[in-house]
């Protein structure tokens, strides 16, 4: 029997390095903060009567305009169409989102609005990082501080002192939106993380009044819940109590002075989860690489294979 000419080959070093870099790339850049989750939708009962298609075209033009503006602004309000096909709309992004994140958030809503509300003549879709609303011209809207939606945490505080601590933390929202003048505040006070956002064209005093009303509604609607979200027509607030301290907070127990020093808990949680999943993805990539190396046979110098085993 003749000798076989086939020899076991050792994978070239650059191939292994390429696989490792590819794994780390997907692990580090494949995750982002969750700001596009649906919170709630509001759909009018009335539908477009649009045999000519003029209203549908106006709505599409409105979507295009709002989406385009969201790449450079956190708030924008405009209209499209004329006469019976005229439609007004706006979007508002959370104050801590980047321009790219705002654009990505707003860009997801037009398709969602059509799926969730069909041909409704007035729609509002709220995501965790932004909202968009539109209505036909002349449609009667809710008052500035009318309650649209609420989420009350199921867990209630049992210890003494929570109510006073919550009152102080919620009071920081009004101070924050008033102090920075941009209608947004996020920060922590003694283990309570709070966030407030006003609509972009709301005057400063009206913004303060709106978040104060929302804070009062949080207390009356949710009692001593450890978390709550209150959405009014032109502002919304949320709070979450963390017994072990607000995640990622390095500040003192006193309140933070502005939204710049506040802690964005949603981003913190997303980063942690993304990191954990990233570790899992890296491990899976390394297992795949080791399997590929085994299929090509063991070389006399098994350093790379042993190194991969050590990493896993």
The pLDDT, as a whole number, for residue 33 is 55
The pLDDT, as a whole number, for residue 290 is 57
The pLDDT, as a whole number, for residue 24 is 44
The pLDDT, as a whole number, for residue 180 is 80
Per DSSP bridges, beta strands 147-152 and 227-232 are antiparallel
User: How many other β-carbons are positioned within 10 Å of the β-carbon of residue 146?
Assistant: 11
- Alpha carbon distance, N-terminus to C-terminus of the chain: 42
267 contact partners, CB below 8 Å, separation of at least 6 = 33, 96
The helix/strand/coil state of 134 is: strand
> Residue for token digits 């939204």?
259
Domain 147-267 class, CATH top level: alpha beta
The pLDDT, as a whole number, for residue 39 is 97
52 contact partners, CB below 8 Å, separation of at least 6 = none
The helix/strand/coil state of 193 is: strand
The pLDDT, as a whole number, for residue 97 is 97
The pLDDT, as a whole number, for residue 244 is 86
Give CATH 3.30.430.20 domain extents, the chain. 38-136, 147-267
C-alpha dihedral, 178 to 179 to 184 to 185, nearest 10°: -110
Phi, psi (degrees; rounded to nearest 5) at 101: -65, -40
> Residue for token digits 């003048």?
181
> How does pLDDT run along the chain (312 residues), one tens digit per residue?
554 444 444 545 555 555 444 444 433 333 345 899 999 999 999 999 888 899 999 999 999 999 999 999 999 999 999 998 999 999 999 999 999 999 999 999 999 999 999 999 999 999 999 999 999 999 988 888 999 999 999 999 887 889 999 999 999 999 999 988 889 999 999 899 999 999 999 999 999 999 999 999 999 999 999 999 999 999 999 999 998 888 876 443 343 433 333 444 444 434 333 444 344 444 444 455 555 545 554 444 443 322 222 332
Whether 123 and 134 have beta carbons less than 8 Å apart is answered as yes
> Residue for token digits 């292994």?
16
The pLDDT, as a whole number, for residue 281 is 45
Whether 271 and 202 have beta carbons less than 8 Å apart is answered as no
pTM of the full structure = 0.72
Nearest to 154, CA basis, from 207, 89, 224, 85: 224
Largest Cα span, the chain: 95
Q: Rg (Cα) of the chain, in Å, rounded?
A: 26
Round to whole Å and give the CA distance between 23 and 6. Answer: 31
The pLDDT, as a whole number, for residue 47 is 95
Round to whole Å and give the CA distance between 163 and 157. Answer: 9
Whether 119 and 55 have beta carbons less than 8 Å apart is answered as no
Superfamily of domain 38-136: Gnk2 domain, C-X8-C-X2-C motif (3.30.430.20)
Q: From the centroid of its chain, how far is CA 19?
A: 32
């Amino acid at each position: 029997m003749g000798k076989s000419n086939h020899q076991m080959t050792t994978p070239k070093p650059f191939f292994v390095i390429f696989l490792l870099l590819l794994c780390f790339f997907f692990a580090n850049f494949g995750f982002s903060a969750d700001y596009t989750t649906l919170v709630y939708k509001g759909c009018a009962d009335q539908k477009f009567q649009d045999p000519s298609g003029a209203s549908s075209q106006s709505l599409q033009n409105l979507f295009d305009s709002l989406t385009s503006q969201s790449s450079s602004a956190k708030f924008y309000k405009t209209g499209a169409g004329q006469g019976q096909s005229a439609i007004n709309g706006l979007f508002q992004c959370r104050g801590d989102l980047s321009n790219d994140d705002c654009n990505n958030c707003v860009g997801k809503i037009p398709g969602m609005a059509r799926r969730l509300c069909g041909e409704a003549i007035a729609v509002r879709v709220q995501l965790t990082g932004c909202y968009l609303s539109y209505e036909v011209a002349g449609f009667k809207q809710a008052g500035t501080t009318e309650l649209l939606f609420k989420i009350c945490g199921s867990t209630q505080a049992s210890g003494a002192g929570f109510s006073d601590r919550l009152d102080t933390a919620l009071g920081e929202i009004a101070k924050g939106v008033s102090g920075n003048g941009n209608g947004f505040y996020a920060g922590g006070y003694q283990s309570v993380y709070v966030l407030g956002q006003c609509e972009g064209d709301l005057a400063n005093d009206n913004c303060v009044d709106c978040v104060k009303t929302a804070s009062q509604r949080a207390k009356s609607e949710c009692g001593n819940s450890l978390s709550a979200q209150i959405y009014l027509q032109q502002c919304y607030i949320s709070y979450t109590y963390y017994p072990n301290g607000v995640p990622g907070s390095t500040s003192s127990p006193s309140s933070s002075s502005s939204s710049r020093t506040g802690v964005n808990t949603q981003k913190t949680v997303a980063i942690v989860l993304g990191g954990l999943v990233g570790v899992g993805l890296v491990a899976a990539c390394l297992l795949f690489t080791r399997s590929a190396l085994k299929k090509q046979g063991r070389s006399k110098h098994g350093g790379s294979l042993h190194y991969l085993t050590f990493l896993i």
